């Protein structure tokens, strides 16, 4: 952080659409960073996607190549092991284009924290289908809906929790104040585990993308709380913090 200002304020102004989930998640991350006294020892790396709309000029971090933020963050952590690192990525970035880097980071038990924003599409580029897209969901590349007899939406947190003995893995949602409070608890656990050197930590967050879903912000929140959770159950999948 370049200046001594309140951490959440450091992410303003942003350029998210009304009702987007990204802003809430970024704010929660920064509140936790501030509460842990890490404001001056924190790097927020970003993937490519709507996370680029964080117009931060105050928080240090790399704007990484598409899908490569886990790899860049791992390298930086090796050089600065006492610094807190969060890699903040979309589902298309972390689970499709960058899945190799994501799994490698977990497999290597890298002592970094990955926060993935799952809005079930490639948001920034106009709402294309991703591996996270729900069966039947209409996107710009699945105009008749994602085939219902095709592969199921991918569940990366479960895969990592079951395969790589991570320090902490959970799925949260921004659908209500209660769930946002849970998200904050998860981020606290992940950051505390990283600073204690316990290994890879990850939180996926279900988030609305009203613009590409063609829904009002209110309806988009409802969609997160109902349809998305049929495929993406909330909760903790690994915890050895
Ligand atoms: C190598 C490469 N491929 C494709 C793109 C185009 N691209 C930019 S953002 C983006 C979508 C990212 O989607 P996601 O990670 O889900 O983030 P969201 O915008 O939904 O939050 C894509 C495909 C690119 N910039 N670089
Ligand atoms: S396109 Fe979707 S993810 Fe991107 S800023 Fe708008 S609502 Fe958010
Ligand atoms: Mg996305």
pLDDT beyond 90 at 5: no
Pocket test for ligand 2, best of 211, 214, 223 (most atoms within 8 A of CB): 211
3-state helix, strand, coil in the chain (%, to 5): 40, 15, 45
| Nearest atom of ligand 2 to the alpha carbon of 21 | 8
Helix (H, G, I), strand (E, B) or coil at 205: strand
Comparing 3-7, 114-118, 167-171, 187-191, which segment has the lowest mean pLDDT?
3-7
Q: Whose CA is nearest to atom 1 of ligand 2?
A: 123
Question: Ligand 2 centroid to 42 CA: how many Å?
Answer: 25
Residue 191, pLDDT > 80, answer: yes
The closest alpha carbon to 91, from 204, 212, 222, belongs to: 204
- Class of domain 7-239 as given by CATH: alpha beta
Is the pLDDT score of 6 beyond 70? Answer: no
Centre of ligand 1 from the C-alpha of residue 22, in Å: 15
Q: What is the pLDDT of residues 196-209, one digit of tens each?
A: 999 999 999 999 99
The pTM of the full predicted model, rounded to 2 decimals, is 0.96
Q: Whose CA is nearest to atom 5 of ligand 2?
A: 16
- Residue 9, pLDDT above cutoff 80: no
33 close to 84: Cβ distance less than 8 angstroms: yes
Q: Where are the domains of the chain?
A: 7-239
């Amino acid at each position: 952080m370049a200046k001594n200002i309140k951490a959440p304020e450091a992410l303003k102004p942003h350029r998210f659409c009304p009702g987007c989930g990204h802003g809430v998640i970024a704010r929660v991350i920064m509140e936790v960073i501030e509460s842990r006294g890490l404001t001056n020892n924190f790097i927020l790396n970003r993937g490519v996607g709507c996370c680029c709309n964080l117009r931060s000029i105050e928080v240090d971090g790399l704007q990484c190549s598409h899908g490569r933020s886990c790899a860049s963050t791992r390298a930086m952590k090796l050089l600065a092991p006492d610094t807190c690192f969060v890699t903040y990525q979309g589902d298309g970035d972390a689970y499709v284009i960058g899945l190799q880097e994501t799994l490698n980071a977990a497999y290597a038990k890298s002592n970094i924290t990955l926060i993935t924003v799952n809005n079930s599409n490639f948001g920034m580029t106009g709402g294309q289908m991703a591996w996270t897209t729900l069966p039947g969901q209409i996107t710009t590349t699945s105009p008749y809906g994602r085939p219902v007899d095709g592969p199921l939406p991918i569940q990366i947190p479960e895969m990592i929790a079951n395969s790589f003995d991570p320090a902490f893995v959970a799925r949260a949602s921004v659908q209500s104040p209660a769930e946002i409070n849970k998200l904050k608890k998860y981020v606290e656990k992940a950051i505390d585990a990283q600073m204690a050197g316990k290994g890879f930590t990850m939180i996926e967050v279900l988030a609305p993308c009203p613009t590409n879903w063609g829904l009002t912000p209110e309806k988009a929140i409802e969609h997160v709380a109902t349809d998305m959770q049929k495929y993406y159950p909330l909760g903790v999948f690994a915890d050895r913090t």
